[in-house]
A and B are shown apart, each in its own frame.
Chain A
């Protein structure tokens, strides 16, 4: 777990130093996340770590999966471990795309804020802050950041309020005026993970079909037994042209 803890600390510092996740679709990507690397206010209190539960889960999954891949001698179990390992990365990406208080990144109504239906629609929405016609700034009650005045991105909670947050917010303050202020989660990491999931499925399918072939050839899916068969074959120096014969199917859970 030691490498896991190291990676976790890194993730935690990184997440805290950029205010967890402050990019949203209303901000151009170019100014979305300005990293603050010195991370002067890294919260090492227990609450700080509990707040990063997703990152804990990422590390837990990653190390579990990695251990299964290395430790298991059963080929199918290794592949399952590989899947768990990949899943941890999916979770990492999705976590970084989440904006606190942000809603699903689907543009509702007129994006320029002249459509009052949009306001109605957002009336009961606890997760998004709506702003129309330049009425100052309606910050989300959940994030409790109204005190920062116009232009402050409500995605930043006091816990993680750091200099970079102000930079980001003021950087696009004037931009916000013209766009209906709905806070969206960053869709890009989710989209990237859709691709990665497809890749993962392809890998799993290919791996399982290879295991079927190995089972046909060797009669077992236990790596130890397969390697033992190979070793005996090497000692006998019989050309390995003939496949699938002479090997008695040893027991192995399939």
Chain B
């Protein structure tokens, strides 16, 4: 049983999803999904523990040996991202019971749970698999289910946002597939370890460059890197609240995971950043994204949309860490994946609570909400402090890591720009905090009560993690392990 853990993480949600649809009972679907998700949280926890020392767990699907069959590989990095995905997925689903009942029409609730599980399975599959084509398949599983989840939003704009995301996302996935094809043509294998062995990296041939460029562009769309991020704000703003919370915390992170895998495991840091001058471009785009998206967030009238823009900016921080091509930079990028997931998950859950009580997420409707929903407003404030990177929050840890790396590299200008960008985060955060605490409440707000306890508890679980990870930087520790493993300096 224990030897099957790597595949069970993917198989359990994937099997429960159709069962839910067949049985088609609302209470059953909720209980079954929650059980499935918390079981895989436990399994990924065990897997992370087992890989802690830098060991890899290999699992051959159906007993077929790697060059022919598909292999799952769990290493410290994939276990780290899988834990992130499962925890967020489970916590968000636990907390959003009432919101789902309110926002999803009752005939679609079972389908919602099934799609949610499929999306989780797809994201986990992308992390677990050691086969490049399999990454594409799981990418599409998670993408297709997220298009469907976004379209479940009540407003007609949700369908439009989902379609826009679908078109852009499919172009991205097809580019990725094209790159996979070129690599297969060169090596005759799809296994990541096999590819890493056989690709003639040092020659820097044109095929390699084109394949890598195509896969990078494809994943960049999914990561919502600055110039190709346009699908994200609409998608997050119009999706149901529970879906926004889940996706904002996980989906871009897993694409970044795939990009890091591609860069550091299949190709190599030298190829991506020396032979292919990707480093400068990515750093430039990250910085530009941080500034443009943060500035965009300041001018949004809707909280969900402002947080979505801030997500684009935060992806910039992660990508910047990755593209510094150094162990400490990579560790900063990876640890920001978890820190940001926790922060954004908590923030979107708090927004969900507010939207559940007052039925709106517009900034003007939020005024004075701290009077009637003090705990939610406080959670929101702590989350926003985390986004800014105030000490004692998770956001501080990664910004500190990034800054010290930048200073270490002798790039004080870059470090200064990073610090300056935090001011923009202060600006958009302050607008929300000001509205919540100092605005004149409307009658609707005065009539609101504190959020349902389950919603509040889940919000505070994630917000508690923001503080915990800020004081005791566990995510930084795991991320450093993963970075050492990826660059081969750990063993």
Contact of A33 among B148, B163, B187, B362 (CB under 8 A): B187
Q: How far is the CB of A131 from chain B (nearest CB, A)?
A: 23
CB contact list, A1-29 vs B, under 8 A = 6-7, 9-11, 13-15, 18, 23, 28-29
Contact of B167 among A195, A207, A241 (CB under 8 A): A207
Q: How far is the CA of A217 from the CA of B158 in the complex (A)?
A: 10
Q: Which residues of A contact B43 (CB under 8 A)?
A: none
Q: Which residues of B contact A6 (CB under 8 A)?
A: 210
Q: Which residues of B contact A243 (CB under 8 A)?
A: 154-156
Mark interface residues in B167-187 (1 if CB within 8 Å of A CB, else 0).
100110010011001101111
Question: Given A210-B163, A244-B156, A35 and B170 touching (CB < 8 A)?
Answer: no
Say if the beta carbon of B412 comes within 8 Å of chain A. no
Q: Which residues of B contact A189 (CB under 8 A)?
A: 181, 184
Query: How many of chain B's residues touch chain A, expressed as a range?
Result: 35 or more
Contact yes or no, A89 B205, CB < 8 A: no
Question: Given A85-B171, A89-B177, A18 and B210 touching (CB < 8 A)?
Answer: no
Say if the beta carbon of A163 comes within 8 Å of chain B. no
Contact yes or no, A18 B174, CB < 8 A: no
Contact yes or no, A37 B203, CB < 8 A: yes
Contact of B174 among A11, A85, A211 (CB under 8 A): A85
Say if the beta carbon of B200 comes within 8 Å of chain A. yes
CB contact list, B279-328 vs A, under 8 A = none
Contact of A210 among B147, B155, B178, B181 (CB under 8 A): B147
Q: How far is the CB of A20 from chain B (nearest CB, A)?
A: 10
CB contact list, B112-153 vs A, under 8 A = 133, 136-137, 140, 144, 147-148, 151
Say if the beta carbon of B160 comes within 8 Å of chain A. yes
CB contact list, A184-199 vs B, under 8 A = 189, 192, 195-196, 199
Say if the beta carbon of A129 comes within 8 Å of chain B. no
Question: Given A33-B186, A33-B187, A35-B187, A217 and B171 touching (CB < 8 A)?
Answer: no
Question: Given A29-B67, A195-B137, A214-B160, A206 and B166 touching (CB < 8 A)?
Answer: yes
Chosen A-B contacts, 24 in total, with CB atoms closer than 8 Å, are A9-B206, A10-B210, A18-B185, A18-B186, A29-B68, A37-B203, A69-B171, A78-B167, A82-B167, A89-B174, A93-B181, A189-B181, A192-B133, A202-B140, A202-B144, A203-B140, A207-B163, A213-B151, A213-B159, A217-B159, A230-B160, A239-B360, A240-B155, A240-B156
On A, residues with C-beta under 8 Å from B are 6-7, 9-11, 13-15, 18, 23, 28-30, 32-33, 35, 37-38, 66, 69, 75, 78-79, 82, 85-86, 89, 92-93, 96, 189, 192, 195-196, 199, 202-203, 206-207, 210-211, 213-214, 216-218, 226, 230, 239-241, 243-244
On B, residues with C-beta under 8 Å from A are 67-68, 133, 136-137, 140, 144, 147-148, 151, 154-157, 159-160, 162-163, 166-167, 170-171, 174, 177-178, 181-182, 184-189, 200, 203, 205-207, 210, 360, 362
